[in-house]
Chains A and B, each alone.
Chain A
Amino acid sequence: MERVAVIGVGQTKYETDKRETFHELVWEVANKALNDAGITVREIDNVVTISSDFWDGRTISTMAVSDTSGGYDKDITTVEGDGTFGVLYGMMRILSGSFGTTMVVAHHKGSESNMAGITNTSFDPLVERKLGLDAITSSALQARRYMTVSGGTEEQFALVSVKNHGNAMRNPFAQLPMDITVEDVMASEMLASPLKKLDCSPVSDGAAAVVLAAERSAKKMTTNKKRVWLNGVGHCTDAYRLGDRDLADTRALKKAAKKAYDMAGVTLDDIDVAEVYDAFSYMEPLWLEGLGFCEDGQGPEQIERGNFTLDSELPVNPSGGRLSANPVQVAGLAGVIECVLQCRGEAGRRQVRGAEVALAHGINGMCGQSHCVWILGK
């Protein structure tokens, strides 16, 4: 199979209450990605936008950005969900042989929408929606289940928040760089037990873009230093209703990860750095179990041992993660971009030394119903 490379990346600073419109945000990052790749929009032959009619408050939300994404008079399409799935479709379009260079761009303005109300519409209107569940309350159910199964504690989860907000201090794009302690997290406002405010990601605005190119053209278009290969990917969806799943079971992620590792031909030892979906603090150790970096139930303890800090064997979320900026559709794409920067050695003060193989992870749906796992490499 031919390979596909990321040849350009661009992202806004993630903030709340941005006053630029969706198309201005996309204009900014699409241009940054093109400039980073050293190409013009004329060399883009197709576009994948990632947007959500719910968060954008607009039917056919891609209409807001199909001009500034470079989609005019081109073959353009839209994935609704996390940015990692947009990259997946962008890559498959190239591998199909129909396209050579794909722009993948995502935008999100959480500050213009109502997170609780919108995530409530993820629940079945015929059953659970009327109970008022949303992302935070359903995740709280998952957090407690995970504590029950693993014996993990709120303090162990708090360490994830401390670590990732600390990492964000080294990332100029992050929204919430913070020097905090476990006590700060524990003392923050209780939203839905066991989740406190600092266990939860913020409301964020921002956009991100990557330019993908087929091996045949990538080598002509860019320098060796800029190219980072998409070596493996896997995605998998679990059951819908929370009661259909054991919320501490990560079987869908395990299946997605295995596919990504097999396709890339890597083992866990090969992976130098990982961007794991941490919209809530407990998710990082839970997904690290699904990804295979911890035995089932061992995630919280390994967090406590400091196994995933910046100076550890496997730094996790050097960007600061979703806890430090969570523009929903953009979130996983920002993780992909962080992996690209790490593999290029362009991650500045958060650079993981010698990073050659990186893992990015995104989720769709409530409590990680669907996962997309990427392996990128130099």
Chain B
Amino acid sequence: MGKRVGIVGVGQTHHASHRLDASGVEVIAEAVTRCLDDAQTTLDAVDAIIIGNMDHFENINYVDMWAVDGLGGCMKPVFKVTTGGTTGTTVGAAAYYSAASGMFDTVMAVGWEKNSESDTQAAIATCANPVLERDPFAGAIGPLATEYSMYMKAYGATEEDAAIVAARDRNNALNNPYAHNRMHVTVEDVMNSPMLSYPVKFLDMCPRSDGACAVIFAVEEKAKKMCDRPAWIHASVVRHDYTHFGDLEWQWMPTLERATLQAYKYAGITNPVKEFDVAELYQPCSTTGVKWLDSMWFCERGQGPKLIRSGATHMDGIIPINPSGGVVATNPIGATALIRVAEAAWQIMGRAGDRQIPNVKKALATGFGGCSWSDVFVLGADLP
């Protein structure tokens, strides 16, 4: 069987809407350098590198080749994985499996994006099938708005419920020096922000950011030497759905439910709300912060609004969600899901600064992308 693997170092850039001070390769180098510093190591200790982003956001073919100066990848094993919004967790999973396989002792995962360098929605629209769905498909906001209005009708969720999530995450971001959008926001501010696509308003929706994230995964023997409190990988699971938008189930998130249940099984989680000390979730829009909770078995079907209104997911609640500010505060797409894993790891390692939740033993991180695809990581302070 494979080796046990822990995260021993994490680095991320200061994310922003336009990082005009740094080229793509420089943004990558910034994250890599900080990751090496966090792990108190050098590139010599990195055996292999996995990188990912989304091609049409920067128009760089063979990003794994172009990035070697920033990665420190010259004369090292490097390859690229990419799956859309889930790219960050895809990169993390590839680094995890590479180490667990016994082929490499330490593997660095790097996700990055400079969304300022293109028209994000124009690029995303090309994910739809060119002969069936591309012409009517209009980017990421429409499907998210549609699924929440269905959920509102089915379960009595409200626009305010989403606004509570938006305000929670945006205020949490004030504690995160790396976050892109850091501003004090009230529920009223969210409700009064411009309507993008009913019921999604401007402050409900994620931004597009420039940034990068790097995470070093190490096999047990190495991890114990490199870090006094590694974040051990207890589970990594991916589930994909149909690939035509018209075929999807919109009222709940089948992929998220299937992926989390499998991950809980691997990690021995039976009561996620009680057993997780913190969750960093890829919720591209505050509405999903209400709607998707039941698919993770955080509550009964349709009970997301009740959980949100109870305050259980706030910083002082029983299951704090997105202490970092989450995706509505920061979204360099190819890095976004890896930042979830990185933030969850920092919570376990006790390195989360002003956003630290006390004594985190188990953390959940997710990725979302593609055609309603879900990735799930379970991290723990104890060996799996």
**What residues of chain A have their CB less than 8 Å away from a CB belonging to chain B?**
1, 21, 52-54, 57-60, 62-64, 66-67, 71-81, 85, 88-89, 91-98, 118-119, 121-122, 124-126, 233-240, 251-252, 255-256, 364-366, 369-370, 372
Give the contact stretch, choosing among B10-18, B73-81, B182-190, B294-302: B73-81
A52 surroundings in chain B (CB, below 8 A): 55, 61
B97 surroundings in chain A (CB, below 8 A): 89, 92-93, 96, 98
Docked complex: B84-109 residues within 8 A CB-CB of A: 84, 90, 93-94, 96-98, 100-103
CB contact between A236 and one of B65, B75, B90, B124 (< 8 Å): that residue: B75
B98 surroundings in chain A (CB, below 8 A): 89, 92
List the B residue with the shortest CB-CB distance to A251: B75
B23 surroundings in chain A (CB, below 8 A): 126
List the A residue with the shortest CB-CB distance to B259: A75
A57 surroundings in chain B (CB, below 8 A): 126, 130
B309 contacts A by Cβ under 8 Å = no
- Further contacts, 9 of them, CB under 8 A, given A60-B369, A73-B241, A125-B59: A59-B84, A63-B371, A77-B90, A95-B103, A97-B2, A122-B62, A237-B65, A239-B68, A240-B66
Q: For the complex, what is the distance from the CA of A125 to the CA of B90, rounded to whole Å? A: 26
B206 contacts A by Cβ under 8 Å = no
6 A-B residue contacts at CB 8 Å? A53-B55, A60-B369, A77-B93, A80-B64, A235-B77, A239-B68
Q: For the complex, what is the distance from the CA of A76 to the CA of B240, rounded to whole Å? A: 7
B36 contacts A by Cβ under 8 Å = no
B127 touches A63 (CB 8 A): yes
CB contact between B102 and one of A67, A95, A122 (< 8 Å): that residue: A95
The 5 A-B residue pairs with the shortest CB-CB distance in the complex, in nearest-first order = A97-B2, A365-B65, A95-B101, A96-B100, A60-B84
B238 contacts A by Cβ under 8 Å = yes
A59 touches B55 (CB 8 A): yes
CB contact between B100 and one of A60, A98, A125, A233 (< 8 Å): that residue: A98
Q: For the complex, what is the distance from the CA of A92 to the CA of B102, rounded to whole Å? A: 8
Q: For the complex, what is the distance from the CA of A21 to the CA of B97, rounded to whole Å? A: 32
Contacts A73-B240, A89-B79, A370-B79; A364 near B55 (Cβ below 8 A): no
B66 touches A122 (CB 8 A): yes
B34 contacts A by Cβ under 8 Å = no
CB contact between A79 and one of B1, B3, B79 (< 8 Å): that residue: B79
B68 touches A78 (CB 8 A): no
B63 surroundings in chain A (CB, below 8 A): 80
B74 touches A239 (CB 8 A): yes
B315 to chain A, nearest CB (A): 33
B237 contacts A by Cβ under 8 Å = yes
Q: Provide the B113-147 mask, 1 if CB < 8 A to any CB of A, else 0.
A: 00000000001111101110000000000000000
A119 to chain B, nearest CB (A): 7
Q: For the complex, what is the distance from the CA of A72 to the CA of B370, rounded to whole Å? A: 13
A237 touches B77 (CB 8 A): yes
Q: For the complex, what is the distance from the CA of A76 to the CA of B373, rounded to whole Å? A: 10
A67 touches B242 (CB 8 A): yes
A59 touches B68 (CB 8 A): no
Contacts A95-B101, A97-B1, A364-B65; A59 near B77 (Cβ below 8 A): no
B239 contacts A by Cβ under 8 Å = yes
**Which residue, of A60, A79, A92, A252, has the highest number of chain B Cβ atoms within 10 A?**
A60
List the A residue with the shortest CB-CB distance to B73: A237
B79 touches A96 (CB 8 A): no
B145 to chain A, nearest CB (A): 20
B3 surroundings in chain A (CB, below 8 A): 96
A74 touches B240 (CB 8 A): yes
Contacts A240-B69, A369-B65; A92 near B101 (Cβ below 8 A): yes
A124 surroundings in chain B (CB, below 8 A): 66
Contacts A72-B242, A92-B98; A364 near B103 (Cβ below 8 A): no
A67 surroundings in chain B (CB, below 8 A): 242-243
Docked complex: B222-252 residues within 8 A CB-CB of A: 236-243
B77 touches A96 (CB 8 A): no
CB contact between B130 and one of A58, A118, A370 (< 8 Å): that residue: A58
CB contact between A92 and one of B66, B103, B370 (< 8 Å): that residue: B103
A77 touches B238 (CB 8 A): yes
Q: For the complex, what is the distance from the CA of A104 to the CA of B63, rounded to whole Å? A: 21
B76 to chain A, nearest CB (A): 6
B241 surroundings in chain A (CB, below 8 A): 72-73
A81 touches B83 (CB 8 A): no
A75 touches B237 (CB 8 A): yes
B258 surroundings in chain A (CB, below 8 A): 73
A174 to chain B, nearest CB (A): 26
Contacts A59-B126, A236-B76, A238-B75; A119 near B61 (Cβ below 8 A): yes
B54 contacts A by Cβ under 8 Å = yes
A53 touches B240 (CB 8 A): no
Q: Provide the B357-376 mask, 1 if CB < 8 A to any CB of A, else 0.
A: 00000000000011100000
A30 to chain B, nearest CB (A): 15
B196 contacts A by Cβ under 8 Å = no
Q: For the complex, what is the distance from the CA of A77 to the CA of B127, rounded to whole Å? A: 16
A105 to chain B, nearest CB (A): 14
B158 contacts A by Cβ under 8 Å = no
CB contact between B126 and one of A58, A95, A370 (< 8 Å): that residue: A58
Q: For the complex, what is the distance from the CA of A58 to the CA of B84, rounded to whole Å? A: 11
B237 to chain A, nearest CB (A): 6
A364 touches B101 (CB 8 A): no
A64 surroundings in chain B (CB, below 8 A): 129, 243
CB contact between B74 and one of A96, A238, A365 (< 8 Å): that residue: A238
A366 surroundings in chain B (CB, below 8 A): 62, 65
List the B residue with the shortest CB-CB distance to A93: B97
**Which residue, of B55, B101, B102, B123, has the highest number of chain A Cβ atoms within 10 A?**
B101
